[in-house]
Amino acid sequence: MSHEYRKDPAAISQLSPEQYRVTQEGGTEPAFDNAYWGNKEPGIYVDLVSGEPIFASVDKYDSGTGWPTFTKPIEPKNVVQVGDSSLGMSGIEVRSAHGDSHLGHVFDDGPAETGGLRYCMNSAALRFIRRDDLEREGYGEYRRLFEHPDGERSDDRHD
């Protein structure tokens, strides 16, 4: 299925002040005080501005940082990495490819067994779509991430 994702002015006009600050001005929300850092439900995370799929709960883990953290993007083509030294550390900024939203940062201190990356994201830049709502929301092709090869449902990993 082909989708056309883009920076949507209508979506931008609906952002809360915090969502605007994060996605459009490169801000960072408070640790441990955001919508998805503790979310363990199965589903996917999409860019709030463009709707492009960014991460899946099957790649989410508890990094202890207080932000939703993932080992890899669901669709690498939907993520752009840009050098960023604004935080006084060696993080690389992560932006959505089509929406040009600031999402967070990626670091090289993630779990070695999954590639060593830690994608530390802002909840304010994301919209969570539950596994059971994927078809209704137009993301049915990602249902496969939550099924075993034998067709049974897979629960999300629990941290």
Segment-wise mean pLDDT, segments of 10 residues, the chain, 159 residues? 79 96 96 95 97 97 96 96 68 93 94 95 98 97 84 48
The rounded distance, in Å, linking the Cα atoms of 124 and 102 is 10
Give the Cα separation of 90 and 11 in Å (integer).
31
pLDDT, residue 27, reads 94
> How far apart are alpha carbons 145 and 127 in whole angstroms?
18
Domain tally for the chain?
A: 1
Residue 70 is predicted with a pLDDT of 98
Q: Note whether 66 and 37 are within 8 A (CB).
A: yes
**CATH number, domain with residue 33:** 2.170.150.20
Strand partners, 70: 60, 119
Domain boundaries, position 48: 9-144
Residue 4: inside a domain: no
Catalytic residue numbers? 120
